[in-house]
Amino acid sequence: QVAIFFLAGHETSASALAWALYLLALYPDWQDKVAAEAQAVMNPGKIYFSALKKLILTRDVFRETLRLYPPVPMMVREATKCEHFRDRDVKPGSQIVLSPWHQQRHERIWDNPDGFDPARFQTENGREGLRSAYMPFSAGPRVCTGSGFAMAEGPLILALLVRAFRFETVADRPAMPVAHLTVRGKDGIWLRLTPRD
């Protein structure tokens, strides 16, 4: 179980960072904002955990990435009691499949559900979505034990990378999401890196 814990933590973090960099390559204005925030907040020679609370925009970019490309696209849970859902009886012991991918792109919950908009989390709709429908790490007693670490590690690494490099898409290599154990690019995620001044 320890091996699975480390493998799952590495794979999901790598997937989230890859999609975040891809989205920033698609949206260079957002990439420039993250780079500016990282320049203002972080000293690359001395990285302190306290910098995390100042990386507000970078955190929201990472949140939006996890909303659009949740590392784990579906979760299976078991009903513990009788429920009635959409004109169906769900008996105890029944398996229930939850899909963060669909829930986090649902048009009744999110404004512009398929659009990349990190600023949404500063709106009432985005805050309500975070409270009621955002579950890239699952929720409740079965929430991922590494969720807190991922929400610290992801924005910090993202800020450091975007502070140091400009990321651009590769024209003939668009990323196509596919669901395996995690959501990955079908043929990988290809980006061109250029050192920033």
Residue spans per domain, the chain? 2-71+111-195
Give the pLDDT score at 179.
Answer: 79
Q: Which residue has the tokens 């600023």?
A: 119
Q: Which value, to the nearest 10 degrees, does the dihedral of the CA atoms of residues 181, 120, 112, 188 take?
A: -30
SS3 content of the chain, % helix, strand, coil (to 5): 50, 20, 30
Give the pLDDT score at 144.
Answer: 66
Give the pLDDT score at 34.
Answer: 98
Is 1.10.630.10 the CATH number for 2-71+111-195? yes
- Written as six digits, the tokens of 185 are 């690019």
Give the pLDDT score at 124.
Answer: 93
Q: Which residues of the chain have pLDDT under 70?
A: 1-11, 138, 141, 143-150
Give the pLDDT score at 37.
Answer: 96
Give the pLDDT score at 129.
Answer: 87
SS3 (DSSP) at 195: strand
Residues with Cβ within 8 Å of residue 33, at least 6 apart in sequence:
57
Give the pLDDT score at 162.
Answer: 96
